[in-house]
Amino acid sequence: MVSFMENNWTVTLANTFLNEALSLPKTVSKNLTKTVKKLEIDPIFAQGDAKKLKNYKNLYRVRLGDYRLIYAVGKNSVKLLSVRKRNERTYELDLSHQNTETPDIPLTEIEIIPEKVNAEIQTRVEPEVQTVSLESSAIKLPKKITKTLLKQWKIPQDYWSSLLQVESEDDLLNQSVPHLYIERILDNLFPRSLEEISSQPEYKLFDIKDIERFLEGDITGFLLQLDPEQERLINFNRTGPILVKGGPGTGKSTLALYRVQKLLETGCKSILFTTYTNALVNYSEQLLEQLLKQSPAQVGVKVATVDALIYKTYMSRFSKPHLANKKQCLDLLEDAVKCSEIPGKNEFDKQVKRDSLKRLGVSYLLEEILNVIQAWGIKSLDNYLQHKRQGRGVALQSNTRTAIWMIYQTWQKLMKEKGWITWEELRCKALEIELKSSRKKFDAVIIDEAQDLSPVSLRFLLALTAKIENVYLTADASQSVYQRGFNWTQIHGDLKVAGRTITLKRNYRNTQQIATACEEILAGTGAGDEDCIRQKSSPYLGNWPTIQLADHLDKQAEEIAKFLMASAKQFRLPLHGSAVLCPNTQLCESIAQRLQKIGLNAKFVSGKKIDLKAHYIKVLTLHSAKGLEFPFIAVMGLQSGQLPYIEKTLPFDEIQGELDQQRRLFYVGCTRAMRALAVCGSKTSPSQFLDSLLSNHWTKQIF
């Protein structure tokens, strides 16, 4: 067996190449690996069989019987794009672009702080925006789907009965069939343009025999190829912890997965990979299993949410906790305010302080307790008096802080009497257990989405390893929707990331149009990290995002349905890959019901129950969508009083901080969209978040 790592040319594949290869006759496919071997040795000449395609900068073809294998040649790399039968239209599937060159896609840019990188976005080409009605005409399939074809394309028999009834492209896109198989069928029925295939993600071919294994059905997929700069990051060997920053779609989480493999190669026997939500944990486990060629647990890799680890640690010492909900916490806090002994010179002074606390409101006091005192693990009044309270707008004087601390002590006593505990206090207790433990569970800790973990949660994770140099974090302050206002050095004395912070700049998720439009949500507002907001251009093109304004929810649902259907048709992806994101569960439930009445298979799912493989349109909250991505997304609730939503009792000095946090939430939701994005709001009372969006980067529709 020959390893590709020993040769000068790295071979990668596009999905379309793999899909089309399944249609090859056996007499042709048996020579496929032999032909690829020629390209691995010399793709420019290929033993005299290679020919450069006219009107393309770096595309070649090589003969394979009556078929032609088309590939792109880069620096020491060959990307297999397509294998299609030779006829008069083999290279003419993209007539509108015949006189242009296929652009070279630059490598991911990374920056080592404090060096600055110019991340100005290049000029974008604005494609024509197309919309379709729900009754749009369907494109008939060029040939009938048969059992023979489905077997040849390696489509599982579970889906045959429904696929055999399909007569049009629209029918196919609406099937409850995994995206992988829908795309495979489309690639073989409706050949893509070479430009489109060139921009597809690259998958690495580690061994030439893997092509044969794929054609035989032994393996179903390949790993994403890292570019040279990303490889350099994976091999980053500076002493001490590493913090990788980067905006949406820059590959932070993917790099974290590859870091697991690197740590295993360097001798680590036990590795913790942790991220924020169950959906992300399940997704990460699947990718790690593919990368490591076996279950992560078999090689000592633990994948879990932070709170799952914390809960397990707590249960190792205490009985099952009774976690109090917000109302229970507020009710006891009101009692604590009434019965606490407030320090003061006299009764009048005490009453003044009591009135001051009353103006702040119990909701604000509860946030102060949960997000400052308990989230930071503050144990004494002296520490509280000295704490900087990052992210809090109201400046509390020492006498007010003292009064709050007294109320906090009373509230804790009342909570204990009820047998109640908060998640924040549970995390503190789990941290205490791990700090006292002499046994460290892991050789290395990888923390994904670190910006939304509380300081106590991060300290807990760091307490699980004795090797601080093997700590690896990914973060983007612009995507922080749970935590605000802390800095790394205050979390852990040994976690000094100065000089070890790396910033990813290239966006690989969104189209150029979506990335440009989303920058306007945060750029210049002070709500995000400008280094992460300003990204280098994506290789993908699409439509400019749409702003849909209507006052009636039924009309919004109808226009969302049209948008999702048009997007599925334009990008030839299944409709069930779509998502609708809302600021609250009530709106989620309402829009899911309306989409179902229209005839779309849509379902509201909570954050803990998201199944990314489920064959229906996912309707979920903006918070639940954090860390995920979908081909097409509609973000709802862009109206005054909904997004943003500001509680009436919130102190004036806290309003800007709350607005910033909800603006980041809006940004996170929009940047989940890979190929098409629409935001929906009120016509008569639109959200203030829409004010900063430039008209030439967004298409506005008013109904």
DSSP per-residue codes, 353-388? HHHHHHHH-HHHHHHHIIIIIITTT--SHHHHHH--
Mean pLDDT of 581-603: 94
Q: Tell me what percent of the residues of the chain surpass a pLDDT of 90.
A: 43
Q: How far is Cα 106 from Cα 398, in angstroms, rounded to an integer?
A: 54
Q: How far is Cα 268 from Cα 261, in angstroms, rounded to an integer?
A: 10
Confidence band, pLDDT 50/70/90 cuts, at residue 581: very high
Cis peptide before 103 (omega within 30 of 0): no
Mean pLDDT of 531-552: 86
User: For residue 90, what pLDDT is reported?
Assistant: 56
User: For residue 163, what pLDDT is reported?
Assistant: 94
Confidence band, pLDDT 50/70/90 cuts, at residue 57: confident
Confidence band, pLDDT 50/70/90 cuts, at residue 394: confident
Mean pLDDT of 113-120: 29
Show the tokens assigned to 647: 């509680």
Mean pLDDT of 25-35: 90
DSSP 202-219: PEE--BTHHHHHHHHTS-
Q: On the CB side of 38, how many CA atoms lie within 13 Å of its CA?
A: 17
pLDDT at residue 381 tops 90: yes
Average pLDDT, the chain: 83
Quick one: which of 207, 139, 152, 200 has its CA closest to 15? Answer: 200
Show the tokens assigned to 566: 């048009």
Burial of 199 (0-12, 13-18, 19+ CB in 10 A): middle
User: For residue 316, what pLDDT is reported?
Assistant: 94
Q: Please calculate the CA angle 284-286-291 and round it to the nearest 5 degrees.
A: 90
Mean pLDDT of 150-170: 92
This prediction has a pTM of 0.77
Mean pLDDT of 505-527: 87
